[in-house]
Amino acid sequence: MSDQAARQLAVEPGRSVIVQAPAGSGKTSLLVERYLALLATVDEPEAILAITFTRKAAAEMRERVLQFLDPAFVAEKPHEKAAKARAEAVEAKVQAWGLRENPQRLMIRTIDSFNQFLARAMPVASQLGPMPSPAEHTQALYREAARRILARLNDEEALSEDLARLLKWRDHRTQDIEALLMSLLGQREQWLRAIGRIEPVEQAAFEATLHDLVSEQLRRASTALQQALAQAGMSEQALLAVLSEAAACAADLAKPTPFADWSDYRRLPAPNPAELDGWRMLGFALLTNGGTWRASLNKNYGFPPKSEHKAAMEALLEQWTGNEELADLLHQARELPVPEFGPGEWPVLAALIRVLKQAAAELDLLFAERGKSDFAALGDAAQRGLGNEEDGYSDLALYLDQRIDHILVDEYQDTNWGQFHLLEKLVAGWAGEGEQQSHRSLFLVGDPMQSIYRFREAEVGLFMRTRDQGIGAQTLESAQLTRNFRSRAEIVEWVNERIGPAFPSIENMAAGAVRYAPSEPAREPGGRVEVLAEIDRVQEAEALAARIRDTLEANQGKDDFKAAVIVRARSHLSELLPALARHGVRYRAVKLDPLLQRPVAQDLLSITRLVIDPAHPSARLALLRSPLCGLSLKALHALAGDGKDPLDDDALDRLSPEDRERAEPVYAGIEAAYGLRGRRSVRDRVEGLFLRLGGPQILCARPTEQRDAQRFLDVLAQAEDEGLLNDWNAFLALLDEQTTEGDPPDDEVRLEVLTMHGAKGLEWDAVFLPGLDRPPRGASQELLYWLPITPESGEEQVLLAPLRSAEQASNTALIQFINNQRKQREAYEQQRLLYVAATRAKEFLCLSAVLDPDKQAQKPAAGSLLASLWPNCEGEFLRAFSEALERIPELGPDSDDVVFPAPRRQRVQSGWRPSFEATLDWTPALPVRERSVEIEFSWQNTQARRIGTVLHRILEDIGRVGLERFDEVRLARLESRIPGLLQAMGTGRAELQASVEVIEQALDRTLSSETGRWILSGEHPEHACELALSGLIDGKLVNAVIDRTFVDAQGVRWIIDYKSGHAEDERIEEFLQHEAEEYRDQLSVYRRLFEQMGETDVRIALYLPRLDRLEEL
C-alpha cells in the first residue's frame, strides 16, 4: 500500500484502522482530519471519543480541530486544505451544536482524565466513593502504607508470620523492606494484575506460567532449527553425526569442550523443559559466549584439520552466518531457567505476595482516609466502574456503548495492559457485522519505533498484537505511512542507513522487538548530519558548545530558527552547560535543572529547617554564612568552633561588633518565626523570615531567581498540606523531584536543553545529541523481580521471583533470566530512543561521543546509544576522532608567573535592612553589596584555587601509581588534560593559556627536582594519595584526607600536604612562614591519627610545587 493510499484509508470514517506513523509523517494532522470527517457522521459531538496520553497532546489536538472549524482560518498547505474542506462540510452542525462557544463538548481527553470521568460517574461500582483528588506527591503515602504493614509484625495474625519470614530472608533489614515496599506500591498496577488472578497463592500456579514461557521459547527455537536444517540440506541425524564425531575426537583432550557430551545423544532435544540440558549443550556447541555463530573450529574442539565432520560443520555454520533469528533463539534457549522455584524461594515468594496484597489494600484505605488517589488507583476504579464480561457490565458501560460511536487513540504504542483492557471494555458491545455496528469505528495511531516508556509500563507488543488480532472482537485494517515531512532528505536517509539496521530484523511481541520501517523524504535535499568524537568530556563539551554557537550565529537572520540539545539523562549535562555559558550561548533547560541546586532554594531550605527546628545547628550556620547575613568563617568559628554552642546566651557576645550587627537580625527573625507556630502556616513563616532578611532584594535580582523562590514556597505549601514536613527526608525527596522553569523562550533564547523522553513529539531546526557513549545507569535492587509478557493471545503473563536472601552471594537462575530479558528489552528500547532523538531534526543533526585514544578500548560500552550505532557508524566516528586528535593544541612554552587579582565575596552590607513593604513577586531587585577584602598573596583568588585543584589532581594521578610508571608519552597525555580540567571548573578563554602555563611550569619543576621525584615515587612502602582517615582526637570525631603519605627507606612515615601558592622571590620566606602557621595545627592532627594506629616516627610537611620547596613543620 502506498503512502497516499494509507492516508486515504486512515481518514475514511467508516473503517476501523490501526496506523503506524513514523516520525515526521504528520500524525497529528491525520488525527485531526479523521476527527473532522467523523463529525459529519454523528448526531452529537460527544459520540466521538479521542484519547491521548498527555495534556499537551490533548490541548494541541483540540486547538487544531477548533482552528479548522474557524471560518476565518485560511488553509495554505495541501494537507490543511483537505482538512479545511471537511470542516466546511460540517459548518451547519458546528453552529447547531455551538461548538465554537462550547468547545468542552469535544470529547478529547487524556487517558487519566477519562479514568477520572468514569470513576466519578460510578462512585459505588468503582468503589471509590466521593471522588478523591489526585495526590501530587505519592511517595509519602506509599511510605506510610509500608510502615503500617511493618508495624503489624508482632500482631497475632498470618501477616505477622509472612513479615517475619521476609525480614529473616533479608537479614532483618527493616529499612530495606520499607524502601522496597514503597517502590513496589508505586508499580502495583502491573504486579497486582498478575498476582490478583491467582487465588489461592499456590506454587504450582506460578510455576505453570514459567513452564509455559520456557515451552514456548523452546518451541520457537525448535521450529527455527528444523527450518534452518532443511534450508541447509542437512538432516537432524547428519547434524548429530557431526556432533558425535567431534565428541569422540575430543574425548582424549585434557580440557573439556562444548562438544564433549554429544556422544550419547541419538536425537536433537525436543521443545520440552525437561530437555533443557540438551538445548544448553546445543547452544554452547554452535555459539560463542556472546551469542554469535562460531567462526572457527580446531582440534581443541574436536575438529582435526581436513576431517570430514569439520568440513561439514564449517559449511553449515557458513550458511547460518546471516541467520540472526536462529542464533538469538538458541542463545535464549541455553539461558532458560528450570521452570520451578529453587530451595527456599517459594515460601519467601508466597509470603511476599501475601504482604504485597495487604500493602495494596492498606494503601487503598489510606487513600480513602486522606481523600487522595494516584493514577493507578483511578485506572483500577475506572475498570471496576465498567464491570466485566464475567460478572456483567455496569449501567455506565451500557450507557457509553449507546453514546460513543467512534474512538480515536493517539500514541497507541505507549499503551499498557490496563489501558488495553479499558479499550476492550469500551468496544465489547461492538461485535457483529450488522447494520447496528456499521456506523462504529476504532482508530489507533502510533509508531512502535517510538515506544520509549517502559518505565511507565508501556508494552509495545500490544501494538503488534492489536495490529495482527484486533481488540476483543473488533478487527482493524492496518496502514503504514512512509513519507517524512519534517526532516531534510539527508537526515532521513542517514537515519535509514545508520539507525535502521540497529533494529532487530525479526519482530518479537513478547520481547518488544520492533522491526525498522524506513521513511521516504518528502522535503528536498539541503540538510546535514555531522559526527563529533573527542578525547574527554571537557573537550566534547567545548567542541559541541562551539558548534552550537556557530550554528546559531549562522542562522541569526532566521527569526524562527530553533535548536535543541537532547540528552539521555540530565546528569550528562554537567560539562556542557558551563561550556555553553563560557561561549555566551543562552539556553532554556526544560525540566532539567534541579531546584535544590539553585542558591535561593538552598537558603530557603535552611530557613525552613530553622522555622521547624530553631535549634538545628548546621541550618543556623548555613543561614549565617549565606548572603542574607554574610558571616565570615572566622565568625562562625567564634560561634560554634571548639565545641561552643551557637545558641548559648552569650553566643553573640563572642562576635565582633560588625559581625554581631549582621547576626542579630537572623537570631531575632528565627525566634519571631518560631513564635508564630500554631498561628501561621510553615510556608507563611518561611516567607516572612525570607522577607525580613531581605531575601527578594539580595537573592532574587533576576526573574529566574524570583521564580525559583516562588517555586520553592509553592512546594513547601504542598508538602505542608500533605503532611510531609513531619518527615524531613520525605520533604527532601519531594524537593529532589522539582526542576526550575529556566528562562522563558524569547527571540534571544533559541536553544532548548532537554531529555530524549521530553523531546518526543517535538522538532527543531538543529539538534545536538551529546554523550552517546555514556552507559545507562545500573539497575537498582528490588524486593520482587517480575517480567511482564505479552503473549500472542490470552491474558498478560508475569514471571515472579523474590530478591535473593542476604546470605546468597549471587542471583538465582530465575532472577538472572529475568534480568537478562529486561536487559534485552532495554537494549531494544535504547535503539528506539536514539531513533526518537535523531528524528527531531529538520535541517541539521549533530551526534557526539567520547572515545578512548587506545584503539583496544574504543568499542562503546554495552547499553550505550553509541553501541547501537557502532556497527554502521564506526568509520564516521573514528574519522571524527582522528580529526579531533589533530586539533589538540601543542602545550605552550613556559611563561612568567601570573599574579591574579584579589577576589570579591558578595554579601549584604553590614547594617542594611530591607524594606518591609516589599513582596516577593514585585520587589525591585537591589544590587548585591560587594565588600572588598584585602588579600596579600596570589594563592587566595578564585582562579588560583582552580589552578591549585588541577595541579593537585595531576600530582594525585602520578603519585597514585608512582612516577616510575610514567614515560614521556603518558606524561604528555596527562598534561593534555590540563586545559579541559581548567575549563570544566569555569576557566574562561582569556585566562586559560596563562593558567595552563602555570600548572605546566609547576609540574616541570616538580618532576625535574630530586625532592619532587622522591615525593611522587611509587617505590615507597604504603604510598597513597588522597588517603581518607577518621578517628577520635580529644573526644571529637575527626575526618581527614591526606594529599600524599608514604614510609621512606628509614621507616619514617611522611604526611605531605600540597600547597599551590606562590609569592615573589623577595617575599618567599614570609610566605612560607605564613603557610606553616596556617596549616601546622591541621597536619598535627593528621600526625596524631597515624600515631593512634601505632606509628611512632611521623613527620609532617608542606610541599609547594611552584617553588619546589618541602617545608617540614
Residue 742's region, left for phi above 0, alpha for psi from -120 to 50, else beta, is: left
- Give the span between the Cα atoms of 461 and 1030, in whole angstroms: 54
- DSSP H or E run through 384: helix 375-386
Between β-strands 441-446 and 17-20, what pairing exists: parallel, antiparallel or unpaired? parallel
Q: 532483618: which residue's cell? A: 172
Q: What is the pTM of this model?
A: 0.72
Would you place residue 753 in the very low, low, confident or very high pLDDT band (cuts 50, 70, 90)?
Answer: very high
Q: State yes or no: pLDDT of 903 exceeds 60.
A: no
Cα-Cα-Cα-Cα dihedral sign, residues 1044, 1048, 1054, 1058: negative
Domains annotated for the chain, with CATH where assigned, are: 3-128+374-481 (3.40.50.300), 136-186+342-373 (no CATH), 205-334 (no CATH), 520-592+747-887 (3.40.50.300), 595-736 (1.10.486), 1024-1112 (3.90.320.10)
pLDDT above 60 (res 389): yes
Give the model's confidence band at 765: pLDDT under 50 very low, under 70 low, under 90 confident, else very high. very high
At a CB cut-off of 8 Å and minimum separation 6, what does 206 contact? 198, 341, 346, 349, 800
Lowest-pLDDT choice from 121-125, 225-229, 833-837: 121-125
Q: Give per-residue pLDDT as tens, 396-449.
A: 778 888 889 999 999 999 998 889 989 988 998 886 544 445 689 999 999 999
- Place 969 in a pLDDT band, splitting at 50, 70 and 90: low
Which pLDDT belongs to residue 221? 92
What confidence tens digit (pLDDT) does each residue in 819-847 have? 888 888 999 999 999 999 999 999 999 99
Residue 49 has pLDDT above 80, yes or no: yes
- pLDDT number for residue 1034: 76
For residue 976, how far is the Cα from the chain centroid? 31
- 257 has pLDDT over 90: no
Assess contact for 833 and 840: CB atoms under 8 A. Answer: no
Which regions of 129-177 does DSSP assign to beta strands (E)?
A: 133-134
Least confident of 308-322, 930-944, 1055-1069: 930-944
pLDDT reported for residue 437 = 52
Task: Give the pLDDT of residue 964.
Answer: 77
How many Cα atoms are found within 13 Å in the side-chain-facing hemisphere of 21?
26
Q: What is the mean pLDDT of residues 227-235?
A: 92
Residue 198: which pLDDT band, with cuts at 50, 70 and 90?
low
The three-state secondary structure class of 107 is strand
pLDDT digits (tens, 9 = 90+) for 52-111: 988 888 888 999 999 999 999 988 887 788 899 999 999 999 999 998 888 889 999 988
Measured between its terminal Cα atoms, the distance across the chain in Å is: 85
3-state secondary structure of 1016: helix
pLDDT band of residue 494 (cuts 50, 70, 90) is very high
Q: Residue 926 has what pLDDT?
A: 29
Q: Which single residue is written with the C-alpha cell 514456548? A: 216
Q: Running DSSP on this structure, what letter comes out for residue 926?
A: P
Query: In the predicted model, is pLDDT for residue 906 greater than 70?
Result: no
pLDDT value, residue 919: 37
Average pLDDT, the chain: 84
Q: What is the pLDDT of residues 170-197, one digit of tens each?
A: 777 888 788 888 888 988 887 787 676 5
C-alpha to C-alpha distance for 1096 and 630, rounded to whole angstroms: 43
d(CA 1103, CA 1057): 6
Q: Does 478 or 168 have the greater pLDDT score?
A: 478
Average pLDDT over residues 1085-1113: 87
Least confident of 8-22, 330-344, 781-795, 1001-1015: 781-795
Whether the per-residue pLDDT at 605 is higher than 90: the answer is yes
Three-state SS letters, 851-897: CCCCHHHCCCCCCCHHHHHHHHHHHHHHHHHHHHHHHCCCCCCCCCC
The pLDDT, as a whole number, for residue 915 is 52
